[in-house]
A and B are shown apart, each in its own frame.
Chain A
Amino acid sequence: MNPPQTLTTLLQFNVELAPWMLWALFGLFLFGYGILSCILFYHWIVYGMKSKGILVAQFIFPLGSAFLIYMAFFTIRSF
């Protein structure tokens, strides 16, 4: 377990950051992201009418999301 680190700003406002805080933030963010993604997919499947643009979105969106989530996961692990 890494020791808590200190984030100091110019205002000398100290915040002790423990890794679990970032994991909690990440988890909360992913929860919201997951819900919004489900809403988007619902719209694409129900209202999309198999439009070309919607099919492209269904392909690109998960790929980009997976890459960025992996990047976030990787950076939080190195904290």
Chain B
Amino acid sequence: MLYLDPEEHVILEVRKHWFVFFSQAFFYVFAAVAPLFLYAGISKLLPAMVPYVSSVGGLPLFLYCLWLLLVWISFFVQWTKYYLQVWYVTEKRIIDVDQKGLFNRTVSNLRFDKIQDITVEVRGFVSTLLNIGDIKVQTAAEDSGDFSMRMASQPDKVRSFIFSQHNTASEKFIPQKHVIDADEQIKTNATNKEKPEDI
């Protein structure tokens, strides 16, 4: 579950390019039809085996249905991983959801004021043609690593969007934050003066 602040909305979802999912889905299509080719191959190469297999009624078809169910659910596990591995860009931050498996999920936040730079890298013929690239957001925070998404869709648009949000957030929040910090600092200093030192 993703928890947003009361006045916070998701304004952009960044995912890997559909081609990444398509190339994975192709494997499942191959896995689904492979037994048919295998059966056809056995029929041609080892015709003596066919009567044995066909003598057991609907068994081959039954096993094929089970195989298709297995492929079907595996395909949707992949689908889920593809759709749940996402960057949500809100008015305040980037939320990076890293869905590595069904039981392996990491959620990290990056506020816009922590962003130092965004690098986009497009490599190869297919990536250039389909506008696929790696996006790397470098952060100012020492304790958190850089944010990155490989094979993202339309990386340049994402970068310019994040930069525009970064600018908007800077105009809105940073001056206000400084005032609060300064006030708090004055209060803290006053309190410290009144407090006796711990022995």
Note all chain B residues with C-beta closer than 8 A to A7.
52-53, 55-56, 59
Interface residues in B24-83 by Cβ distance below 8 A to A read 46, 48-49, 52-53, 55-59, 61-62, 65-66, 68-69, 72-73, 76-77, 79-80, 82-83
When the two chains form their complex, are residues A47 and B2 in contact, meaning their CB atoms are under 8 A apart?
A: yes
A64 touches B83 (CB 8 A): no
Query: Are B2 and A33 in contact, CB atoms less than 8 angstroms apart?
Result: no
Given A29-B69, A37-B73, A54-B83, CB of A75 within 8 Å of CB of B52? no
Q: Is the CB of B49 within 8 A of A65?
A: no
CA distance A49 to B86 in the complex (A): 11
Q: What residues of chain A have their CB less than 8 Å away from a CB belonging to chain B? A: 5-10, 17, 22, 25-26, 29, 33, 36-37, 39-40, 43-44, 46-49, 51, 53-54, 57, 61, 64-65, 68-69, 71-72, 75-76, 78-79
Residues from chain B with a CB closer than 8 A to the CB of A17 are 56, 59
Chain B interface size band reads 35 or more
Asked if A72 and B69 sit within 8 Å, CB to CB, the answer is: yes
Which chain B residue lies CB-closest to A71? Answer: B65
Interface residues in B75-101 (C-beta closer than 8 Å to A): 76-77, 79-80, 82-84, 86, 88, 97, 99
Nearest B residue to A8 via CB reads B52
Tell me if B180 counts as interface (CB < 8 A to partner A): no
**Chain A positions within 8 Å of B53 at CB level:** 7
B113 to chain A, nearest CB (A): 25
Contact assessment for A5 and B55 in the assembled complex, using a CB-CB cutoff below 8 Å = yes
Question: Do residues B62 and A75 form an inter-chain contact, with CB atoms below 8 A?
Answer: yes
User: B61 CB to closest chain A CB, in angstroms?
Assistant: 4
10 A/B residue pairs, CB under 8 Å, sorted by A: A8-B55, A29-B66, A29-B69, A36-B73, A44-B80, A47-B84, A47-B97, A54-B80, A65-B69, A75-B65
